[in-house]
Amino acid sequence: MTGASPTSSRPRRPSPAVIRRRRLVVGLIAVLAIALAAVLTTIAVRAFSGGDPKAAAAGTTATPTPTSTPLTPAQQLLTTAADPATACAVSFSGEGITQPPMLQTEGVLYTGLPIPEKAGAVFAGWYPTPEAAQAQVQTDRVNGSQLTACTDHERTLYAAWTTPEQNVATAAKIPILMYHQFTTKPGGEDNWLRNNYVYIEDFKAQMDYIASSKFYLPTWDELNAFIDGKLFLPQHSLIITDDDADPTWLQLAVPVVTERKLLTTSFVITGERKDGSPSPYVLQRSHTNDMHRAGDNGKGRMVNLSADEVAADLEESAKVLGVKEVIAYPYGHYNATAEEGVTKAGFLLARTIEYGYVKIGTNKLELPVIRINYGDTVQGLKDNIG
């Protein structure tokens, strides 16, 4: 029998050299696989961690840092408020308006609202909405006769404008009412100042008429701009004043104007009274510091002193009141020297006791008044102010 030997069908065993080469290839493949896995793992961790090496090392996911929203000018202003709880940032909007926001105090009268200017136009006041500014309804107008009110410490006011022609055509005549003392006696007081004492029930009736008729109550800076023809005031406007800050004014009349929320100016002799305002609705302005007494010629000291002496007295008064704006001449006495002193002290306006109305172009240092005397009724007031 012929054929291959029994050992001829077995596979040949690789040589030691081949075995070594195979092992080397397998080892290299394993090392490369491990390295690739490490690289892929690092990339994945960094992707989830936002590229934070510390988070990648810890194997955790970092929270992305949020981008902060920039503060508006009003919000930036609020951060500077001395009392954030009552602060209100009032912004201004409308055609031609560039005024930055300003801080006001909630529950306190608006102070120093801007009176902007625009070529070919006359400013007609601030309103709570664009629609109200367009309609210019007098009772919607916002000014310093009202307490500041805001929502979340912010508010925007919108400008209204009119034409110079319309401003002149309206021909507004602004009465400044002048009161002195008050009495609870229907028959009045029996002394040489009897005419000064208005019966308090007559005063209440007069203030009721003003409040119910919705008169516009301008501030003194508004009156100043009105005289210059830079601000429109409605015909239905007036200013209420009291001279001397007499105890009867403080005790009897102040509660009346406060209850009716009527802006009033009390002309204070600051050498005699240094207390703050008795009401949120009462502005205290200068009746001089120490010139409400007779001079050498029997007339008020204001027409007996030099312009520099008048200015020095008014400077003292301004220190007490914290404002330079308007004065009332004591006894109504004034002359060119007194007017020079008023101007030197930095006051813009001065009120006389002469009968009349403030109009565009009125002399700012000779403002006329409507004097209210004992016996004047609400009908008399209507006859004078409409």
Separation of alpha carbons 334 and 307, rounded Å: 11
Of 162, 195, 217, the one marking the end of a domain is 162
Q: pLDDT at position 35, please?
A: 57
Of 103, 130, 162, the one marking the end of a domain is 162
113 and 178 within one domain: no
Q: Is residue 308 within 8 Å of residue 315, measured between CB atoms?
A: no
The answer to whether residue 134 is domain-embedded is yes
143 and 252 within one domain: no
148 and 242 within one domain: no
319 and 227 within one domain: yes
- Class of residue 131 by CB neighbours under 10 A (exposed 0-12, middle 13-18, buried 19+): exposed
93 and 242 within one domain: no
CATH at residue 321:
3.20.20.370
Q: Is the pLDDT of residue 33 over 80?
A: no
Express each pLDDT in 133-152 by its tens digit: 999 999 999 999 999 999 99
The answer to whether residue 338 is domain-embedded is yes
**Banded pLDDT at 41 (limits 50, 70, 90):** low
The answer to whether residue 9 is domain-embedded is no
**Nearest Cα to Cα of residue 229 among 370, 369, 93, 362:** 362
257 and 362 within one domain: yes
Q: Is the pLDDT of residue 182 over 70?
A: yes
**Banded pLDDT at 222 (limits 50, 70, 90):** very high
String of b and e for 13-48 (b: at least 16 CB within 10 Å)? eeeeeeeeeeeeeeeeeeeeeeeeeeeeeeeebeee
Across 276-304, average pLDDT: 94
155 and 289 within one domain: no
Q: pLDDT at position 295, please?
A: 85
The answer to whether residue 125 is domain-embedded is yes
130 and 84 within one domain: yes
CATH at residue 92:
2.60.40.4270
Express each pLDDT in 301-333 by its tens digit: 999 999 999 999 999 999 999 999 999 999 999
Mean pLDDT of all residues belonging to the chain: 89
The answer to whether residue 341 is domain-embedded is yes
336 and 265 within one domain: yes
Q: Read off the pTM.
A: 0.82
% of the chain with per-residue pLDDT over 90: 80
Of 162, 186, 221, the one marking the end of a domain is 162
246 and 149 within one domain: no
The answer to whether residue 37 is domain-embedded is no
Across 335-364, average pLDDT: 98
Across 266-289, average pLDDT: 97
- Kindly give the pairing relationship between strand 176-179 and strand 239-243: parallel
More confident residue, 300 or 10: 300
Express each pLDDT in 53-100 by its tens digit: 454 445 555 666 777 789 999 999 999 999 999 999 999 999 999 999
131 and 218 within one domain: no
Q: pLDDT at position 4, please?
A: 44
Which range marks the domain in which residue 232 is found? 169-385
The answer to whether residue 13 is domain-embedded is no
Q: pLDDT at position 386, please?
A: 81
Best-predicted range by mean pLDDT (11-20, 47-56, 143-152): 143-152
242 and 329 within one domain: yes
Domains: count for the chain = 2
The answer to whether residue 260 is domain-embedded is yes
